[in-house]
Amino acid sequence: MMRARILALALLPAMLACPSSGREPTTHMVEMRDGVALATDVYLPAGEGPFPVILWRTPYDKAGDQWTAQALTENGIAVVAQDTRGRFDSEGRDLVFTSDGDGPLADGYDTMAWIAEQPWSNGKIGTSGESALGITQYMAASAGAPWQVMLDAQFATPNLYSDAFFQGGVRRHSLTERWLEAQGSLDFLDDIAAHPFLDDFWDPAETRDQWAMVTTPGYHVGGWYDAFAQGNLDAFMGYQYEGGPGAAGNQKLVMGPWHHDATWQSEQGELTFPDNAVAPPIDNAFDVMFNHWLELGHPEIPEHPDDIPNVQYYVMGDVDDPDAPGNLWRAADDWPPPAAGVRWHLQPQGGLSESCPGNDGDTTRYRFDPADPAPTRCGNNLLIESGPCDQREVEAREDVVVFETPELGAPMEITGHIYAHIYVEIDQPDTDLMVRLTDVYPDGRSMLISDGALRLATRGSPTDLMPLSPGEIIEAEVDLWSTSIILNAGHRLRISLTSSNWPRFAVNHNNGLPYPDSNTGPSTPVNVTLHHDAEYPSYIELPDPSRDPAGVNLCL
């Protein structure tokens, strides 16, 4: 049973509510199932209630957005803002989202259970927030709290291991290290080191196998260049198509051209999209969905969630040509839209085409030295430069190989999930394969569309390592996440391949050892051979809604 304890707080300037249009908040220490108490502010509307509730659980200080809290109370909503475990005024150790889901600890569920018991609560709880505040929502939703009637998770992921701390088995260095350092929670690196594979430790924070537990309608907002882009997409699809009662069929998705530190803006990395990029045409989903699911009956919000498309996504385009196709929003019933998976095959002399490669044993080689990793130039990052940036500096390196099309005679669309299938051979037990996809402008700029990483020794499995043997050729499937873009006529499509992307990803020392020894242990250069002939037809598969699947050259 949760209970609140009387809290005698020192009156610190940092805790003061500058805007004070409504009642002042009260602070409670709400006890979780293990006895640890979390500091929780409650903002109540005028009147007796009981009230519907919006909850945000944050590692960034519960007093962080008092203005919005007061505004919500003026609309008849009680607001509960809580410091997550080990953060600011809450007790316990910061367990970095692993206490927020459906596990031995379930802080989100316990907090909602406490709210539901309060006399000022009507038992209908919506959750809201972006980034870490979105992650705590996704974790809590997997616990199936019956009081959660709405979720608003923006720029967040429901899968901490596979979408945040690791990607393709490669640890995301800058995101992990810099964020944990900023939080003062670097000790969590020891937990990551102790659990380098997807084991039970990650279960509460890796929710992709728990979609059916989710019972809440949801509003998901992400960005093509966001650090958690695939997370928002996966949550939408999981909840919408595999969710439990209440969740399935009641999800809305917005995907803009944004990165994590430039959400709802038109300037992204080294590109500036038109002004329409800041928001979708139907931009009041937050109000409409909370008004409906919290049963607010707000007189100025007559719309119903059915009036909002299930999916609104931004199709990026050539930012230099105002007449270019793309740079527009589309509405859809589902994600992803129907599309043909067009296979672009690696060809001799750096070519890239739909043609099947010849039976000539063609290969391309490079040598990767961990002492000299290829640098990151933007992408889906956190706390380092992000978004679409020119990759020519990277592509010019000797340890980077490039394949590209001729100038496109007509526009080409990519909308959906992207995978590269590369046949690869190495002379060490392990290395990483990094694949970047770029839109090459007529002036030569090679602007990043998306990228992906795969630790070869994982062979795509998050639970084990199978170091490679000399002479062994494996098919590496590299996940480049998702996008929507139309390459203009006169542009070229390019992919580049190498074995590092630092500091976005930790540098593999090629020794075949489990993390962290893979990145700190003995280091040896590796010779990488990419096969691309009829027997080993390496390709990148790009979903194109304008193409007929029957016309795709599979080269089987």
Partner 1 sequence: MSALVGLGLGASTAALACDAPGQCRGVIDVRCDGLDDCWCNSGPFAGDSCIYDLESNAPEVCEVKCCEGATAGPSVPGPPSILRGTK
Residue among 32, 37, 63, 497 that touches partner 1 (CB under 8 A) = 63
CB 470 to partner 1: min, Å: 43
Does 130 sit near partner 1 (CB under 8 A)?
yes
Task: Check residue 304 for interaction with partner 1 (CB under 8 A).
Answer: no
Our finding on whether 295 is near partner 1 (CB under 8 A) is: no
Task: Give me the DSSP letters along 319-349.
Answer: SS-TTSS--EEEEESSSSPP-EEEEEEEEGG
Distance CA 5, CA 249 (A): 40
Q: How far is the CB of 541 from partner 1 (least distance, A)?
A: 33
Phi, psi torsion values for 488, nearest 5 degrees: -75, 155
Q: Residue 77 or residue 96: which is nearer to partner 1 going by CB?
A: 77
Contacting residue, 43, 51, 60, 329, with partner 1 by CB under 8 A: 60
Which member of 32, 36, 38, 72 binds partner 1 (CB under 8 A)?
72
Among 289-297, 336-344, 488-496, 502-510, the segment contacting partner 1 (CB under 8 A): 289-297
Q: Quote the least distance from Cβ 1 to partner 1, whole Å.
A: 7
Q: Minimum distance from CB of 493 to partner 1 (Å)? A: 30
3-state helix, strand, coil in the chain (%, to 5): 20, 30, 45
Of 71 and 552, CB closest to partner 1: 71
Give, rounded to a whole angstrom, the gap between the first and last alpha carbons of the chain.
Answer: 60
3-state DSSP assignment of residue 292: helix
Of 252, 224, 223, nearest to 236 by C-alpha is 252
Q: Does 472 bind partner 1 (CB under 8 A)?
A: no
Binding to partner 1 by residue 290, rule CB under 8 A?
Answer: yes
Applying CB under 8 A, among 48, 200, 300, 443 the residue interacting with partner 1 is 300
Q: Which of 17, 212, 356, 408 lies at the binding interface for partner 1 (CB under 8 A)?
A: 17
User: Cis omega (within 30 of 0) on the bond before 516?
Assistant: yes
Beta carbons within 10 angstroms of residue 361's beta carbon: 11
Q: Which stretch binds partner 1 (CB under 8 A): 203-211, 286-294, 330-338, 369-377?
A: 286-294
- Judged by CB under 8 A, the residue of 104, 184, 338, 522 near partner 1 is 184
Does 331 interact with partner 1 (rule: CB under 8 A)? no
For 27, the 3-state DSSP assignment is strand
DSSP 358: P
- Give the range of 277-285, 333-341, 416-424, 465-473 binding partner 1 by CB under 8 A: 277-285
Question: Does position 538 bind partner 1 by CB under 8 A?
Answer: no
Candidates 5, 444, 470, 550; binder of partner 1 (CB under 8 A) is: 5
Min dist CB 182 to partner 1, Å, is 5
Does 383 engage in binding with partner 1 (CB under 8 A)?
Answer: yes
Q: Does 556 bind partner 1 (CB under 8 A)?
A: no
Whether the CB-CB separation of 131 and 155 falls below 8 Å is answered with yes
Of 210-269, binders to partner 1 (CB under 8 A) are 221, 261-264
Cα of 463 vs its chain's centroid, Å: 21
With contacts defined by CB under 8 A, how many residues of the chain interact with partner 1? 67
Q: Give me the torsion for CA of 519, 520, 521, 524, rounded to 10°.
A: 60
Assess 127 for contact with partner 1 (CB under 8 A).
no
Q: Which C-beta is closer to partner 1: that of 42 or that of 457?
A: 42
Q: What is the DSSP string of 112-154?
A: HHHHHHSTTEEEEEEEEEETHHHHHHHHHHTTT-TTEEEEEEE
Establish whether the linkage from the previous residue to 357 is cis, with ω within 30° of 0.
no
- For position 77 contacting partner 1 by CB under 8 A, the verdict is yes
Which stretch, 6-14, 230-238, 426-434, 460-468, contacts partner 1 (CB under 8 A)?
Answer: 6-14
- Span near partner 1 by CB under 8 A; candidates 64-72, 353-361, 476-484, 501-509: 64-72
Q: Smallest Cα–Cα separation from 77: which of 16, 122, 27, 141?
A: 122
Question: What tokens appear for 98 in the block?
Answer: 């692993």
**Based on CB atoms, which residue is closest to partner 1, 20 or 461?**
20
Looking at residues 385 to 404 of the shown chain, list those that interact with partner 1 (rule: CB under 8 A). 385
DSSP state of 174: I
91 binds partner 1 (CB under 8 A): no
Enumerate residues 6+ apart whose C-beta is below 8 A from 299.
none
Binder of partner 1 out of 195, 208, 298, 421 (CB under 8 A) = 298
Asked if 14 is part of the footprint of partner 1 (rule: CB under 8 A), the reply reads yes
Q: 378, 405, 370, 410: which is closest to 500 by C-alpha?
A: 370
Q: Which stretch binds partner 1 (CB under 8 A): 66-74, 236-244, 342-350, 527-535?
A: 66-74
Question: Cα(33)–Cα(112) distance, rounded to whole angstroms?
Answer: 12
- Quick one: 122 or 183, whose CB is closer to partner 1? 183
Residue 185: CB atoms within 10 Å: 18
User: Is residue 35 part of the contact set for partner 1 (CB under 8 A)?
Assistant: no
> Measured at the alpha carbon of residue 258, what is the angle toward residues 218 and 326, in degrees to the nearest 5?
100
Within 199-299, residue ranges assigned H as helices are: 229-242, 285-293
What ranges in 343-502 are assigned the alpha helix state H? 392-395
Phi, psi for residue 305 in degrees, rounded to 5: -55, -30
Q: DSSP string of 374-385?
A: PBP-SBS-SSS-
Phi and psi based region of residue 42 (left: phi greater than 0; alpha: psi -120 to 50; beta: remaining): beta
User: Taking CB under 8 A as the rule, does residue 71 contact partner 1?
Assistant: yes
Structure tokens, 62: 């519960």
> Which of 112, 132 has the CB closer to partner 1?
132
Question: In the complex, what is the shortest distance from the CB of residue 419 to partner 1, in angstroms, rounded to a whole number?
Answer: 31
Largest CA-CA distance found in the chain, in angstroms, rounded: 80
Q: Which of 34, 46, 182, 194 binds partner 1 (CB under 8 A)?
A: 182
Binding interface with partner 1 (CB under 8 A): 1, 3-9, 11, 13-20, 24-28, 42, 60-61, 63-68, 70-72, 74-75, 77, 117-118, 130-132, 154, 178, 181-184, 221, 261-264, 279, 283-284, 286-287, 290-291, 296, 298, 300-301, 383-385
